[in-house]
Amino acid sequence: METTHIKCHSNDNGHVILDVPTKYRNKDLEILIVINKILSDEKKKKYSFSELIGKLEWRGDPVAVQRKIRDEW
């Protein structure tokens, strides 16, 4: 099995034309195509945790709690 990653652009009719070279000659092949729309950088939103700042009230020593959790592994 081979995997190939190709970025392309669809034409005005919404068609994509692929010419993918393979090492297989005169063989039956199964090809899987996954279509994933690429978002522009402006549309990629990162979640802001600013609304959560100051909401957590912690009691105890956070380092001690971390060590306790790690000791459970």
- For the chain, the domain total comes to 1
pLDDT in tens, the chain (73 residues): 777 888 888 899 999 888 888 888 999 988 888 888 887 766 667 777 787 777 777 788 889 988 888 887 6
- Domain hosting residue 27, numbered range: 1-37
**Is this prediction's pTM over 0.85?**
no
Rounded-to-integer distance, Cα 40 and Cα 38, Å: 6
Chain position carrying tokens 């994933």:
36
How far apart, in whole angstroms, are the C-alpha atoms of residue 69 and residue 56?
A: 19
